[in-house]
Chain A
Amino acid sequence: MSETKKTTEELIQNGRQIVQQWIVSENTPEAGRLDVSIKPEDIKPCVKALVETKWGYLSAITTLDHPEYTTAEGSTEKVILPDKGSIELLYHFCESAAVLTLRVMLPYENAKMDSICEIIPSATLYEREAIELIGVELVGTPTVDHLLLPDDWPANVYPLRKSFTGLDKVKGE
């Protein structure tokens, strides 16, 4: 490869500078990675900055469910509190061996943020997966048709939420 090839550390520094103004907090979970938390409303400018400076490519969007738990009296078993908790979206960008992750936290009651399809059109498949499996509203996404789940899947049932343990329980069968 060319002599000017940057080291992973340089790439990470470079990526940090590009998104610097939107960073709320940051973390290095392992070598070659940088996780930055940003506000949900900053997702579009942040992704745009990365795309315009050609820093890497969107490799994946991971969704995490963070429910709130409680323990019933006289028991040690943890029980999920309904309707309380938050969803986290992780936008992983890869450039060579460096991975920059933009993390956005959304509470259940307002699980809504902007779609990035305007900037990266191919993100539509990742977004559709997130919308139907974890239950998040992405404003401006071109289509919200089911991508993976059957057409007769009940509304507002999201299989990747921790509270989902089976369809028969949802339907009361």
Chain B
Amino acid sequence: MDNSSNPEKFIVNIGPQHPALKEPGHFEFTVDGEIVKNASARLGFVHRGMEKGCESRNYTQDLYLMERVCGICSHVHAMAFALGVEKLAGVQAPPRAQAIRELIGELERIHSHLLWLGVAAHEGGFDTLFMFSWRDRETVMDLLEKLTGNRVNYSANILGGVKIDINDEQKDALLKGMDYLEERTHHYMKVVTEDETFLGRTRNIGLMTADEARRLGAVGPTARASGLAYDVRVDSPYAGYPDFPVKLMVEPAGDLEARFVVRINELFESYRLVREIIEHMPTGDLAVRVPRRIPEGETFSRVEAPRGELVYYIKSNGTDMPERVKVRTPSLCNWASVLTQAVGHKLADMPMILAGIDPCFSCNDRMVTVNRGSNALDWSWEDLRRYGIEYYK
């Protein structure tokens, strides 16, 4: 059908419930038959007022608040914030703490990439792969729980270092876990690069050239799958990365298959790093003292989250509370690439293209708390704090 004879647009709404992952976001795809002609996004469904919230809490409280920006990559948020505040305070966490930060960061990447592998497979209709990868993901979740006591929101960071150490029993469990996961990951690599039906949904779908990725501001595995050599761990190493460097994983193809291959290669690299850190763990203290009041200044803290470059801009004013905390999460950068790639593809490819960037909605949405009327379910910060104290008594 010629579009010019039918000037009325047909718009398909996807979301706000569960557009790709089990998280809220709203997309409008203008279609001509099955083909997508235009795409737009509306976020903010899990907007919580975190940046503003930081300005009225002290740095220690903010560390715990920022760890909750995301439920998947909680550790990198806390690490980026802690590294920034340490820079402003003019202190540096000891080498052992930096190595533990990197170790947990890589374990978190393993859990995040395995989670994504399952979600992306599920979106493509490959539920067996989804269940297998999530079963295996439990291995790394259990390891994280063994190390920190928590499956998510590990709370390993404190300002000035970390609060958890690692003992021999945990080291053995980690090594065993890495061996098991490595063997399983070889199988996944085989599936995503050789299975005909799988390739039918990924090869040459959602193509993005290096130039486009650059122009659209893509970051992380999405950019690296289009041949862009961006990785903050390599470009501007932080925490333990100067001592335990990471190898850059790049794939030139730029399609969904490449996004699978890059993430799976990163899994192998993370297994290697975990082993190396365990073997050469520096000795020494776990933390240094950070003053309560942080001298006036500004810092720009960049880390590589599982989804790409995560940026924290922190401005301090000499008190114990920051003047401004700005967070730019990787999913926000990658949306532009999705909305552009979508055009020209079939509507049925949209879930996979959306999932292809590994979007994280709660990361995009932060900031304001909206308290509508007098709902007894609306709790104040103080109520929540009391409840927490009572609960853990």
Contact = CB atoms under 8 A, between A and B. Distances in A.
Interface of A: 29-30, 32-33, 57-60, 62-65, 90, 92, 94, 96-97, 99, 101, 120-126, 133, 143, 145-150, 159-160, 162, 164, 166-168, 173
Interface stretch (B29-37, B130-138, B181-189, B295-303): B295-303
A125 B218 CA distance: 13
A59 B42 CA distance: 21
B326 A149 contact: no
A65 B317 CA distance: 13
B328 A60 contact: yes
A149 to B, nearest CB: 6
B376 to A, nearest CB: 16
A45 B215 CA distance: 17
Q: What band does the interface of chain B fall in when counting residues whose beta carbon is under 8 Å from A?
A: 35 or more
Interface in B339-368: 364-365, 367-368
Contact of B300 (A57, A63, A92): A92
Contacts of A126: 328, 332
A148 B43 contact: yes
A159 B369 CA distance: 10
Contact of B51 (A33, A58, A143, A160): A160
B42 A147 contact: yes
A145 B42 contact: yes
Nearest to A124: B336
27 contacts: A29-B298, A29-B299, A29-B300, A59-B302, A59-B309, A59-B311, A60-B326, A62-B313, A62-B324, A62-B326, A63-B326, A64-B324, A90-B313, A99-B300, A121-B215, A122-B336, A124-B336, A125-B335, A126-B332, A133-B367, A143-B40, A147-B41, A147-B43, A150-B370, A159-B49, A159-B368, A160-B367
Contacts of B302: 59, 94, 99
B42 A160 contact: no
B53 to A, nearest CB: 11
Given A30-B297, A123-B217, 18 more contacts: A29-B297, A62-B313, A62-B324, A65-B324, A90-B313, A97-B235, A122-B336, A124-B336, A125-B332, A125-B335, A133-B367, A146-B42, A146-B44, A148-B47, A149-B44, A167-B370, A167-B371, A173-B373
Q: Which 3 A-B pairs have the closest CB atoms?
A: A122-B336, A97-B236, A148-B44
B275 interface: no
Contacts of B43: 147-148
Given A96-B236, A149-B47, A159 B313 contact: no
B152 interface: no
Contacts of A150: 44, 370
Chain B interface SS verdict (over half): mixed
Interface in B230-249: 235-236
B214 A96 contact: no
A166 to B, nearest CB: 7
Nearest to B214: A57
A145 B26 CA distance: 13
B267 interface: no
Q: Specify which of A133, A148, A164 lies most central, judged by the most chain B CB atoms within 10 Å of its CB.
A: A148
Interface string B209-241: 000001111000000000000000001100000
Interface string B103-116: 00000000000000
Contacts of B315: 64
A16 to B, nearest CB: 17
Given A60-B328, A121-B216, A147 B371 contact: no
B333 interface: yes
A76 B315 CA distance: 23
B66 to A, nearest CB: 16
Contacts of B215: 120-122
Nearest to B230: A57
Contacts of A149: 44, 47, 368
B87 A57 contact: no
B83 to A, nearest CB: 12
Q: Specify which of A57, A120, A173 lies most central, judged by the most chain B CB atoms within 10 Å of its CB.
A: A57
Contacts of B42: 145-147
B311 A30 contact: no
B151 interface: no
A121 B365 CA distance: 21
A133 to B, nearest CB: 7
Interface string B236-273: 10000000000000000000000000000000000000
Contacts of A32: 236
Contacts of A58: 217
Contacts of A60: 311, 313, 326, 328
B52 interface: yes
